[in-house]
Amino acid sequence: MAERGRRTVRDLRRGNRASLLRHLYFEGPLSRQELGRDTGLSAGSISNVVGELIADGMVEEAGAVESDGGRPRTLLQVSAGYGYVVGVDVGETRVRVELFDLALTERSSADLPLSDSGHDVDHVVRLALDGIASVVREAGVDDREVLGVGIGVPGIVEQGDPRLSPPGEGHGIVVHGQTIGWDAVPLGRLLRAGTELPLYIDNGAKTLGQAEMWFGGGRGSGNVVIALIGSGVGAAVVADGTPYRGASSSAGEWGHTTLRVGGRTCRCGSRGCLEAYVGAEALLARWPGAPEGVSEENALAALLAAADHDETAAALLTEAAEYLGAGLADLVNLFNPQRIVIGGWAGLLLGPKLLPAVRQYAAAYALHHPSAQTSIELGRLGADAVTVGAATLPLARFLDTGGERVVRLPAQADNARAGTAAGTAAGTAAGAGAGAESGTGPGSAAGPGSATGSGTGTGDTVRNRTARAVR
């Protein structure tokens, strides 16, 4: 038996596979020679591991390039069709579900409105499960090809003890969503009652952060804050390349930092929170000209248009820019990031008009030296980046383990067990109103009880969308 703390041959092999798989995924296509140079592994190790990955179907040849005086070098890349991942965004007025291949090319999607039930736990669970089943069916994918489902939710997500609940099982995951009335909701257990697929759940702002770090505005930097602005406000903090989660995974609730003592009442019940001044729901609540019967996204667009001729609308946006700049200055002073990336549907909608003023206010409120070293920019992945980020949760485990698949767990469909779990959750979250602590997902004007936008995807990879944004 191996001594405690010593790496076994199996550990070394798994580490080598993970190293090559991750590097190929993010930097490929690459030749075997380039893999050896970049990873430091010997030519023999490269040959053995690459041979295994090709034999397993995870890696494929992707053409060849000329070499200096020798034979052309074969390029390798991760096989996009080896498996699929599902991303779920539990937003403010809808649940959005997308199925991707390993290149994060969308293959199918579904939008399911929350309707009048709001964030009632049973309702959200049913929509999520229906959406997952729908996108798998529409894409024509076998369940066994799906590596896992990632879910971005509003609020604080406790992952539970990994010794008691293996990765992908989900039983120990509990969500605390104060702004939507979720108190210790056993979301992992409730979802497990309806699916055998591996489950990974995290805060929506953190899933957005991972997507922007992998493919968007945070790529290439080790110290970044990704700010999510939707109906609510949240953030993901990355320090030295590692997401900062805090003692109980609640780090990043930036929207509930106090900017004004005794100020406006926030959805969380406190007063003077940043969210109460810059969140879309709060902005529209203070605009007398807000249109009725339309989605928040359309109403916020109307506010931006009205600001060109409506003094009240213009003053409201000017105030929001200053508060947002002051909030970003707090992030600069606290975390000293290289970049601050503003995302979320409302952040991307407000950004083109407000960003110059926001940068000026941030510089005025922050300490000069760290402020001069921090860039403030808009996210590059669009309004659905939370869904993409959610899909990276099972993908990250796949890469980190060198391509290991999670053992499938039978859905816990026993009526007594499912009923007990649902009853427990419903008791803590009945009648929750619309909105999300982390501000995920744009509003939807679709009618209640219908799924819109489902069907095959466009074949548009995240990498392609990012490249167009950069250009």
pLDDT tens for the chain, 471 residues long, are: 444 556 787 888 889 999 999 999 999 899 999 999 999 999 999 999 999 999 999 999 988 887 766 678 899 999 999 999 999 999 888 899 999 999 999 999 999 988 766 789 999 999 999 999 999 999 999 999 999 999 999 989 998 887 777 889 888 899 998 888 899 999 999 999 999 999 999 999 999 999 999 999 999 999 999 999 999 999 999 999 999 999 888 888 999 999 999 999 999 999 999 999 999 999 999 999 999 988 899 999 999 999 999 999 999 999 999 999 999 999 999 999 999 999 999 999 999 999 999 999 999 999 999 999 999 999 999 888 999 999 999 999 999 999 988 766 666 554 433 443 444 444 443 333 333 344 433 333 333 333 444 444 445 555 444 443 333
Rounded CA gap, 319 and 322, in Å? 5
User: What are the φ/ψ torsions at residue 353 (nearest 5 degrees)?
Assistant: -85, -40
pTM for this one? 0.83
Contact by Cβ (8 Å): 323, 314? no
Contact by Cβ (8 Å): 131, 112? yes
Q: Which two three-digit tokens encode residue 146?
A: 């799906």
User: What are the φ/ψ torsions at residue 355 (nearest 5 degrees)?
Assistant: -60, -45
Strands (DSSP E) along 199-299, which ranges? 199-203, 224-229, 233-239, 242-244
Q: Which two three-digit tokens encode residue 462?
A: 């995240």
The rounded Cα 320 to chain-centroid distance in angstroms is 25
